[in-house]
């Protein structure tokens, strides 16, 4: 069959077949040649390779079939998708008609063969060498790592004893197979700073206005890295100016296998945004590009303050900060609604996009620019909804008020003695309010677009015929009774704190007790220490504002007897106060000066080693040191001690005053796993406690009344005896 006729038939067949097989997956055509390698005895030297080393023409009898095997085996999985093309040079000693078969197989590492595709055609061979081709469209297969590809060619004559031959191993009569390979060349491009850290942004504050970078590309090829013919690097700035234009790169080193290699290039880049483009070509003339952006710019300390629609801080709000070419940043606001970040200049990066999430809803999406260190305050679409329920014009206490969104209750509250309830910090949107009272219900729809108060009048259907003044009198009497009942508070023991925090304060945590003088910080710490002792834990108690003997007396008066635990060695004082007061310390463990935090840290470590595991440490109070020790030193001590104690299975508790600087308090907040806040309300001397933060545990953030009572210690007062 003449070559021109074969090509014409092939083009006609492909033109009919290919439209039916659209290829949404992009593939590259890789050619594997049949060549001879004398060193590979296992395959009689007959191999497939993408890098042919031509020799003299080999002639093989193909009436029984000739097989060529890929060497080396695949370095990783190879996906083929599209048209597979076969070509072979054939001849016979006389004209003969028969069946020509092209077969693609895979062979497992243990020698198991599996046919992937096969094509057959009936044709005539002549005594003149000629090329014969076939194609299979729509092929889709994954050949696994470690497997070998085999290419089998066979011609079976229909009659006669003519001999048929395959010609191969020479550039003039090449026999080969073309595979459509999907993403087979794996590339990774990394930009490294002078310290060897991967970066897409380099701060000119650190590098200066000329940043030295190392561009590193890792390339992997399943056919072996020798299949990569050449590599190039280009660098283009944001104005489209070319700093490097396809500069050739040599391989720096092999990777971990013969299938991978590392290419490197050094560059010094001034302040700008750059496109780093790395390209490789293979021996099948395919081009594989990969691109990454790198930014060199000055960066600025930026504090974002997130507030609700009324200007109140929005704590624990989720922020997503995005900019062109930079990795997205996800942050949570602290209790002041703040997040501090170091961000590159918008002169290089462009505008930032800030998205604020609150209760799984987007409550703000806006852009901002950074060209200097600054504080940015933003108000979100988060509002408060106050609901007042009136029964015949009078406040209805204890009504159940459900705030519903898309048929799902998101918050449920009870009305107060004046019939009111407040839903704080609710994202803007459409909601329903369901009021449940005396086995009756009323539902209204509301749209929250600002903070507002809604009055919901309700009636009792069965009272429609009763004189109105009697209804008013009955409602007023009922209201008075409920208010009186709700105002009554019941005493409960200190163990109630385990109800406020589900499971109690974590056994391994750094705990800050925050409160003004006289609010009960020391007594709370003494109660916490005594609770730990009752659980058979050991305690170290550090005092730097009182004599240990006075602490013993105070705890004794509260019904917290330390004698038994001190005799067992379970409770140990570290006295940091006697030396300051000019008295000889009576305790075994003491520090002459309370400001000597280095020796204090050493003493804590000595006692921790002595007591072994499960030791709690209490410190009252680091706040007294702030007048003579820098805040950052105290914060560092809290960090280090907390980590050390938690590592030994215990908790570290310390007291702090809210008059401490805002910056120092924020850092102590970050260092703490749990924050207990106390209030002293003048002039009634009322004390309140709330849990402001606990990592990893559910808790109530409400304020709870408590008192300090002789023989009992801390006693909480709650509205229900069921607690």
Query: What are the domain boundaries of the chain?
Result: 3-182, 186-297, 299-379, 382-487, 494-718
CATH number, span 494-718: 3.40.50.300
Q: What is the pLDDT of residue 393?
A: 85
For 452-464, how does the pLDDT look when each residue is reduced to its tens digit (9 = 90+)? Answer: 999 999 988 755 5
Q: What is the mean pLDDT of residues 308-312?
A: 92
Residue 483: which pLDDT band, with cuts at 50, 70 and 90?
A: low
For 267-295, how does the pLDDT look when each residue is reduced to its tens digit (9 = 90+)? Answer: 999 999 999 999 999 999 999 999 999 99
Indicate if the pLDDT at residue 66 is higher than 70: yes
Indicate if the pLDDT at residue 97 is higher than 70: yes
58 neighbors 174 (Cβ within 8 angstroms) = no
Q: What is the mean pLDDT of residues 459-479?
A: 59
Q: What is the pLDDT of residue 463?
A: 53
Q: What is the pLDDT of residue 462?
A: 59
DSSP of 18-62? GGGS---S--EEEEEEEEE-TT-GGGTTEEEESS----SPEEEE-
- What's the CATH fold of domain 382-487? Immunoglobulin-like (2.60.40)
Is 494-718 in the same CATH topology as 382-487?
Answer: no
* Max avg pLDDT among 31-35, 197-201, 479-483: 31-35
**Residue 610 CB contacts under 8 Å (≥ 6 apart), including other chains:** none
User: CATH second-level architecture of 186-297?
Assistant: Sandwich (2.60)
**CA gap 564, 280 in Å, rounded:** 77
305 neighbors 379 (Cβ within 8 angstroms) = no
Q: What is the pLDDT of residue 43?
A: 87
In percent, the amount of the chain with pLDDT more than 90 equals 63
Name which of 182-186, 373-377, 470-474 the model is least confident about. 470-474
Alpha helix locations (H) across 584-661? 597-611, 631-647
Q: Which of 2.60.120.260, 1.10.10.10, 3.30.465.10, 1.10.1200.10 would CATH assign to domain 3-182? A: 2.60.120.260
**CA gap 205, 191 in Å, rounded:** 18
Indicate if the pLDDT at residue 532 is higher than 60: yes
**CA gap 691, 677 in Å, rounded:** 6
Indicate if the pLDDT at residue 375 is higher than 80: yes
CA-to-CA dists, residue 234 to 102, 266, 356, angstroms: 42, 12, 38
Q: What is the pLDDT of residue 25?
A: 66
Q: What is the mean pLDDT of residues 244-263?
A: 91
**Residue 206 CB contacts under 8 Å (≥ 6 apart), including other chains:** none
Residue 81: which pLDDT band, with cuts at 50, 70 and 90?
A: very high
CA-to-CA dists, residue 315 to 307, 356, 587, 664, 671, angstroms: 8, 12, 44, 18, 16
CATH top-level class of 299-379: mainly beta
**CA gap 306, 328 in Å, rounded:** 18
**CA gap 234, 244 in Å, rounded:** 5
**CA gap 323, 349 in Å, rounded:** 7
In percent, the amount of the chain with pLDDT more than 70 equals 92
Indicate if the pLDDT at residue 529 is higher than 90: yes
Indicate if the pLDDT at residue 218 is higher than 90: yes
For residue 608, which phi and psi values (nearest 5 degrees)? -60, -45
């Amino acid at each position: 069959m003449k070559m021109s006729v074969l090509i014409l038939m092939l083009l006609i067949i492909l033109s009919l077949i290919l439209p039916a097989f659209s290829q949404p997956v992009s593939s590259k055509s890789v050619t594997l040649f049949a060549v001879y390698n004398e060193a590979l005895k296992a395959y009689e030297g007959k191999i497939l390779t993408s890098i042919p080393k031509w020799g003299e023409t080999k002639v093989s009898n193909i009436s029984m079939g000739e097989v060529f095997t890929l060497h080396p085996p695949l370095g990783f999985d190879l996906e083929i998708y599209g048209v597979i093309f076969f070509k072979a040079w054939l001849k016979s000693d006389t004209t003969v008609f028969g069946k020509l078969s092209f077969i693609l197989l895979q062979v497992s590492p243990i020698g198991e063969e599996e046919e992937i595709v096969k094509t057959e055609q009936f044709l005539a061979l002549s005594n003149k060498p000629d090329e014969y081709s076939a194609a299979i469209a729509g092929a889709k297969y994954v050949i696994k790592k470690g497997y070998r590809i085999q290419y089998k060619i066979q011609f079976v004559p229909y009659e006669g004893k003519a001999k048929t031959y395959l010609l191969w191993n020479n550039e003039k009569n090449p026999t080969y197979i073309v595979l459509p390979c999907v993403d087979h060349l794996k590339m990774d491009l990394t930009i490294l700073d002078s310290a060897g850290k991967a970066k897409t942004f380099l701060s000119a504050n650190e590098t200066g206005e000329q940043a030295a970078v190392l561009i590193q590309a890792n390339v992997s090829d399943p056919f072996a890295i020798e299949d990569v013919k050449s590599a190039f690097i280009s660098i283009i700035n944001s104005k489209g100016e070319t700093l490097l234009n396809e500069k050739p790169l040599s391989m720096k080193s092999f990777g971990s296998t013969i299938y991978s290699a590392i290419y490197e290039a050094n560059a010094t880049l001034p302040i700008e945004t750059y496109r780093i483009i790395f390209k490789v070509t293979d021996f099948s003339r395919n081009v594989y590009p990969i691109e990454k952006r790198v930014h060199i710019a000055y960066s600025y300390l930026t504090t974002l303050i997130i507030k609700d629609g009324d200007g109140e801080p929005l704590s624990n709000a989720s922020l997503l900060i995005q900019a062109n070419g930079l990795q997205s940043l996800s942050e949570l606001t602290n209790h002041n609604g703040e997040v501090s970040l170091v961000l590159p200049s918008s002169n290089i990066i462009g505008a930032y996009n800030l998205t604020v999430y609150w209760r799984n809803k987007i409550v703000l999406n806006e852009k901002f620019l950074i060209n200097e260190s600054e504080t940015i305050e933003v108000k979100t679409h988060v509002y408060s909804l106050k609901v007042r329920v009136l029964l015949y014009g009078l406040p209805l206490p204890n009504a159940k008020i459900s705030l519903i969104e898309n048929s799902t209750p998101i918050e449920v509250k009870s009305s107060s003695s004046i019939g009111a309830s407040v839903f704080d910090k609710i994202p803007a949107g459409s909601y329903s309010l369901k009021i449940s009272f005396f086995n009756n219900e009323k539902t209204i729809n509301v749209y929250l677009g600002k903070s507002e108060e809604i009055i919901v009048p309700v009636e009792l259907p069965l009272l429609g015929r009763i004189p109105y003044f009697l209804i008013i009198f009955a409602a007023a009497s009922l209201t008075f009774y409920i208010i009186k009942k709700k105002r009554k508070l019941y005493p409960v023991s200190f163990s109630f704190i385990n109800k406020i925090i589900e499971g109690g304060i974590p056994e391994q945590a750094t705990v800050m007790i925050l409160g003004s003088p006289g609010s009960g910080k020391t007594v709370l710490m003494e109660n916490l220490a005594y609770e730990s002792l009752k659980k058979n834990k050991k305690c170290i108690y550090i005092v730097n504002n009182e004599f240990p003997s006075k602490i013993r007396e105070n705890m004794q008066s509260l019904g917290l007897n330390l004698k038994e635990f001190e005799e067992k060695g379970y409770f140990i004082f570290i006295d940091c106060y006697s030396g300051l007061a000019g008295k000889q310390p009576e305790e075994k463990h003491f520090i002459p000066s309370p400001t000597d935090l280095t020796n204090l840290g050493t003493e804590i470590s000595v006692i921790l080693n002595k007591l072994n595991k499960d030791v709690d440490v209490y410190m009252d109070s680091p706040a007294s040191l702030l007048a003579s020790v820098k805040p950052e030193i105290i914060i560092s001590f809290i960090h280090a001690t907390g980590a050390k104690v938690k590592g030994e299975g215990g908790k570290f508790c310390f007291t702090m005053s809210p008059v401490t600087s805002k910056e120092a308090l924020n850092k102590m907040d970050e260092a703490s796993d749990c924050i207990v806040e106390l209030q002293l309300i003048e002039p009634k001397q009322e004390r309140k406690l709330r849990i402001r933060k606990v990592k990893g545990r559910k808790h109530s953030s409400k304020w709870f009344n408590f008192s300090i009572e002789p023989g009992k210690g801390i006693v909480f007062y709650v509205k229900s005896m069921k607690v």
